[in-house]
Amino acid sequence: MYYLIPHRFRWMLLLVASYSFYASLSGYFVLLLLISTVFSYFTGIAIEKQETKKQKKRVMLAGICVLLFFLGWFKYFNFVNDSIRALSGYMGWHYALPYQELILPLAISFYTFQAVSYLVDISRGKQKAERHFGYFSIYFAFFPQLVAGPIERAKKLLPQFKVEQTLQVENISYGMKRIAWGFFKKTLIADRLAPIVASVYDSPDPTGSQIVLATILFSIQLYADFSALSDIAIGCARMLGIRLTENFKQPHFAVSIADFWSRWHITLSTWLRDYIFVPLAKGKKKRSEIYLVIIITFLISGIWHGAAWSFVLWGLIHGIYRVFGDHTKHTRAKMAAFTRLDRLPALHTWMKIAVTFLLVCFSRVFFRSGSVADAFHHAKLFLTPSAWNPAGLIQALELFSLLDLVIFSFFFIIVQLFHYIERKNTSTWSWLSQRPAFTRYAVYILIVLSVLVFGASGRGFVYGGF
């Protein structure tokens, strides 16, 4: 339909598709999405009409406060309320405000962040206020990336809606491949690991080895789940001629925590950098002040991920990682030179990858645990030396049935082969397109049939809850 109708009507189709998609998943909150859209639209115009930078900033801050109020009310009210109640109980104070039954509107975190970036960019003079309400509404609710990103900037997305896209076989082909690859990772990796990870983290008395194995598997599950969602979003948009931002670049091959955050949920990382870190760090010269801003930025990242103290602790851990990594950078380089490890660059790189991955895994104990008490209990088990006993880890593999272990291992190896090709080439799909037709179609058929025959389904996307 998109390519059959005239370009001037396509925005209507995209808008109907986006709102229909959102209504099918979260019908109660379509009105909130519309109200947020209308408010952001008129606030952007109001900012642009202001004559001085001070006036622009004042209107921008007022607009952001309203948007954050919506986000805070639905996502954080009970978190703050329960925290105050717990503190009051500990201090012996009377606190009578009860728990409120609030449902978290789908995608509110993602479209709020897009709205905030839009208003800030107008205030900074980097973006003109969009006058076409239809195009702006699509930017706010574009269905491929509405649920969980990528978090796009108006400067990149809005112009693409206005350009007349022509039907190109290359876009259709690439989009279908990315969608299929997303389903491959989701159904054959993420959803096969999810019940195994849950069986350990929901258990009242898991062993240390089980926690270690489940946490490593959860890291694989989370990456497969979220990157799959980004693949599907990018593929859907590409079939319409729209190019979304790549959100992942093999983060588990990062050589440091800084490198990890340049590869993981890239659009969130760059958003936090541009709209939290840079403004707070402006004018700061002391390293200690910069480090404090880094900690604050990661705490905000933690709070954004979930209204629970376990997420706050997860963000704090990553902030500490980042500060410690920067502070010890020269010392670690000297240690590598002293031990002559720097003369073995391949070994040195893989050691850094392994250490970074294990640090990320440890932080995800707090991300996955249901409460702070559970998180500290699981973290203690994770750090117990006996938990890393090879015999215990092998025994923990009993969480898999033999058939499930074989199936998961086979498809996990395929994913790693794709990653290997991608590290050697700019794109696995470009590399594959240069192979003989028999090879190409054998791979495509393998992907599709594997999903249909062996794919596990029925679980939502993890980041749909954020």
Q: DSSP label at 99?
A: P
Contact 320, 295 (CB under 8 A): yes
**What's the CA gap between 449 and 292, in Å, rounded?**
51
CA distance 250 to 247: 10
DSSP state letters, 112-133: HHHHHHHHHHHHHTSSPPP--H
d(CA 184, CA 190): 9
Cβ–Cβ contacts within 10 Å for residue 237, how many?
23
Any idea what DSSP says for residue 190?
I
Report which DSSP code applies to 106.
T
Q: DSSP label at 93?
A: -
DSSP for 349-362 reads HHHHHHHHHHHHHH
DSSP percent split of the chain into helix, strand, coil, nearest 5: 80, 0, 20
3 state DSSP class of 247: coil
Residues 6 or more apart from 62 whose CB is under 8 A from it? Answer: 43
Q: Which of 305, 318, 327, 348 is catalytic?
A: 305
384 φ/ψ angles, rounded to the nearest 5 degrees: -70, 125
If you count DSSP H runs as helices and E runs as strands, how many of each does the chain have, helices first?
Answer: 22, 0
Q: Which contacts (CB < 8 Å, 24+ apart) does range 420-424 have?
A: 422/250, 423/250, 423/253
**Rg (Cα) of the chain, in Å, rounded?**
24
- Range list of H helices, 240-283: 257-261, 266-272, 278-281
Give CA separation, 267 vs 71, 88, 234, 274, in Å. Answer: 19, 38, 13, 10
305 is catalytic: yes
Which active-site residues does the annotation give? 305
